[in-house]
Structure 1
Amino acid sequence: MDQVTDGGGQSTAGEAGGAVTRWQIISFAGLVLLLFVGVPVIFGKLPYFITVLTNAAVLSFISLGVWITFSIGRMNLAQGAFALVGGYVTAVLATRYGISFWVCLPLSGLVSAGLGALIGWPMLRLKGVYFAMTTLSLTEAIRLLALNGGDITKGATGIVSVPPPGAIRILGLTVVPPFSSANPMPYYFLASAILALGLIAVWRLSTSRLGWVFRSLRQNEDLATSIGINVARYRVTAFSLCCFMAGIGGAFFVAFQQNIYPSTYTIADSVNFLLYCFLGGLDYLFGPVVGAFLLVISFELLHAVQDYQALIYGVLMIFCMLCLPNGILSLRLRRLGERQHSKT
């Protein structure tokens, strides 16, 4: 997000700001090709693996929102809460009122963003561990509200039989065919499209004036205030964007699973969204994506040793944090520095 120094002593711009680099263009193009061409060709006949990749894609998208709050110097542990809000908005509107998923999707994001702005205005005055613990409490509070929501949320039994996304027709022409729970591939394509659009949007945000203002808040809020920046407004803006992405992700997940319960997103999920960012690297836009895909896939691979799954998973996480404190993507800068050093 800021200026970082590579292994050769050269200062290079972090992924969050500055001009588009060749590596960024190649990386994004490669990711798009892999998501939309490589995966369907290689794993098209493996529905279980497609389901895992779909989950990883939507979790990556939700984690991008957490990455935004890191840019203003806040550790957000409430992302699961706003994903749950977005999920319930879609579930209630679709099952009670028969509203199309394609209308529910943006509405869920907007409701989550509005709630985030309302709660965030007083809460964002807190910093450090105080803000983190408050957001942690918020996640549990939202879960308890869903658990005791009566006829609206159906309590512990949750909302089931949520209809899948229907067809999109323009002038009588079917642009998007109706989805089916028997075929996960359309969901995978939709999740990949949402992730790609999210990456583009967050990249544009981080390289804009707004992105630079966000990073100035992380560095020194008092200094930002002294030069006329409305700190409170920009903090709420960043948090609302984060909540919007959580709401979109939660809405998609409900349509994909066709049910939602108060336990669908818990404190553990909110912590995982942070871990995805840490593992991939906080200084890199692709950090949450790399972290989410690696952790989700590795967790599924460990099903063979289910009794020790959590233990092995935890040990691997500790190992990565100790050996790569700046994230997996920091290896690229390290290798680049070594290459430049060898040339000199």
Structure 2
Amino acid sequence: MKILNQRDGVIAIAFLALLAVMPLFVGDSRYMLSVLMNCAGLSIIAFGVWITFTIGRINIGQAGFALIGGYTTAIVLSKLGWSFWLALPASAVVAALLGAVIGSAILKLKGIYFSMLTICLTESIRLAFLNGGDLTQGSKGITGLAQPFATDSPLPMYYLALALLAVALLITWCVHYSRLGRIFRAMRLNEDLAESFGTDVWRYRVLAFAMACGLGGLGGSYFAVFTQSVYPQSFTVEHSIYYMLFCFLGGLEYASGAMIGAFALTILFELLSEFQQYQTLVYGVLMIAVILLMPNGLMSIRARQEGVRK
């Protein structure tokens, strides 16, 4: 674990440092910066899916909580006149609290049963906002949201995305490499055994799920102001599957795995845009190849190389 910690830390810090100086190379290119901002937002949401993996649950409902965060921000900005700086943490808290309430009821399920239920949960949340009347504006969504910076430059929003990414990474890091993380891993291996040693399994399950949903709400809130709108289709089951794939590709044993996977897959998808109608096919083939060749994720490449040299 100490070796994983060191490698994970070096990669995470180097990656964040690279992102911090990236505007020096791309300038004010709105396209390049928007791609990186999109990657950062997706990483924040995917960190929540990664946390639920640590307790042995496959969460395909993260998009629903991102939608909750996005709509919470949109509603309090457009109807209550709140500042974005209040709306952002409030959205994360609302998503976390709802996650705790819902999680207390569904986390007794395991395996495919839990996963299927989270899919239904995502669709239920989407339909609730679709039929929310004047509050959510139905299929039209809520548009025209003001960004927190009164400037035409994309750089402030870029560094906001980077700051939120760093916060989400720090939360995930503290969870994984702490006593709490050890408890989560023990639960993933054998909940009954963990409970026999005095662990309040139910409480820790709910805590992990609430943290995961809070990160989903945080990412959804950012996307609402980044795109200046939110719709019932902004986050769907398809997005939840992508968040899960980010975690697999990056590496489930590394706290920064979800971030690496999100940036790698999203940038890859942009590069494949030239293939147009074959884009999804090529993307899928490459995904299968990567998962087969690197079952422990991109973060394990260095470890495998060191093992070969030894």
Measured against the shorter chain, the TM-score band is over 0.9
Contact 1:148–1:155, Cα closer than 8 Å, also in 2: yes
1:248 is aligned to: 218
Alignment of 1:1-344 (within 5 A): 13=2, 15=4, 20-21=5-6, 23-37=7-21, 39-165=22-148, 178-180=149-151, 182-339=152-309, 341=310
Q: Which protein shows a greater Rg? A: 1
Give the TM-score taking structure 2 as reference length: 0.97
Give 1:41's aligned amino acid.
Answer: L
Give unmatched runs, 5+ long, in structure 1. 1-11, 166-177
Q: SS at the partner of 1:125?
A: coil
Alpha-carbon separation, structure 1, partners of 2:183 and 2:135:
40
Give 1:28's aligned amino acid.
Answer: A
Alpha-carbon separation, structure 1, partners of 2:200 and 2:13:
37
Alpha-carbon separation, structure 2, partners of 1:179 and 1:215:
45
What is the root-mean-square deviation in Å for CA atoms of aligned residues? Answer: 1.3
Give 2:279's aligned amino acid.
Answer: Q
Alpha-carbon separation, structure 1, partners of 2:221 and 2:30:
21
Alpha-carbon separation, structure 1, partners of 2:121 and 2:28:
41
Contact 1:44–1:185, Cα closer than 8 Å, also in 2: no
Alpha-carbon separation, structure 2, partners of 1:142 and 1:88:
11
Q: Percent identity?
A: 48
Change (3 A) 1:106 1:115: same
Alpha-carbon separation, structure 2, partners of 1:204 and 1:317:
29
Change (3 A) 1:13 1:263: same
Deviations 1:108-163 (A, max 9, x none): 00000010011000100000000000001101111111111111110000001111
Deviations 1:254-309 (A, max 9, x none): 01100010000000000000000001111111211111001111111122121111
Aligned length: 310
After TM superposition, the runs of 4+ consecutive aligned structure 1 residues lying more than 3 A away are 12-15
Q: SS at the partner of 1:254?
A: helix
Higher helix share: 2
